[in-house]
Amino acid sequence: MLAQLIVGGLATGSCYALIALALSIVYKTSDVLNFAQGEMAMISTFVALALLEGAGAPFAVACAGTLVFAAVLGAATEFLFLRRAKNPTTLGLVIMTLGFEMILYGFAGWKWGSDPRTLALPISDATVYHAGPVVVSQLNVAMFAVSLLLMALLFAFFRFTRLGIAMKATAQNPEAARIMGIPSGRVLSFTWALSSVIGAVAGMLMAPLVMLDPNMMLDPLMKGFAAAVLGGMTSLPGAAAGAFMLGVIESLFGGYVSTEFKSVVAFAIIVLVLCVRPSGLFARHYIRRV
């Protein structure tokens, strides 16, 4: 039972990791917590459903179209809303993301209604694989594999590409990056587009598990936020590690203590980590001296 719970927790944590990475990328670059991340992923997943069922597109085409839509949505959010704010404070930008979240939520309810839908993927939660006493579904394997692949691609992107290095420079000091000739505005737009694409992948992977409706990403968003806080909002590897830790802890709590209260674990972790180590377990803690 222990091995089964750990494997299930790692699979769930892989989706939390995608949400945590999406939140951390934006926060690391612009110091903004994007609370519209969940609704952006939800809207993108509905677009995937419309392409698959409404337009009859093949899965590969629907997936590619969804990712393009997610990138445009993320870049447009930064360009049309956040960049237009005059002398914004960090709190003001966070409130703007909350307002945009409600706009997307209301639009989804008006356009697609509140009835749960099913997103048909070429992978199934009913097909299982046996590894000794552990049973793993095909969907869980896909979730874990896609998450690891995206993490590896993100590491390579930030480590070896000029755009990734420009994003890191903008995150460290936007003014100095602008003086050095880095187009900070374009970098921020790309950051939001990349974050939105990662969230869309998480939404499509989670849709078969939670059903597709306007509320589908409310709980995963909070779990991803808790994972990012646990690992460190400014550390991408830390956010991913925190997500896997949260998934395993939550699975063990549900298996040995209570399934009804396992969702409380994420919020308890947020409180404990912020009290003991506000920067997270894997991020550097800076002390400002006056």
pLDDT tens, residue by residue, 23-57 = 988 888 877 888 899 999 999 999 999 998 877 88
pLDDT computed for residue 206 by the predictor:
86
Would you state the pLDDT for residue 290? 41
Predicted TM-score (pTM) of the model is: 0.89
Residue ranges in 123-282 assigned as alpha helix (H): 138-160, 162-172, 174-179, 184-210, 218-231, 236-256, 264-276
Instruction: Give me the residue label for tokens 């377990």.
Output: 281
User: Tell me, what's the pLDDT at 199?
Assistant: 92
pLDDT in the model for residue 288? 45
258: pLDDT strictly greater than 80: no
Mean pLDDT, all residues of the chain: 84
Three-class DSSP category at 37? helix
pLDDT band at 268 (very low <50, low <70, confident <90, very high): confident
Q: Which long-range contacts (CB under 8 A, 24 or more apart) does 108-115 make?
A: 108/39, 108/42, 108/43, 108/46, 108/214, 109/214, 111/46, 112/46, 112/214, 114/213, 114/214, 114/215, 115/213
179 Cβ contact list (under 8 Å, min separation 6): none
Residue of 105 and 2 predicted with greater confidence? 105
Report, as an integer, the average pLDDT of 126-140: 79
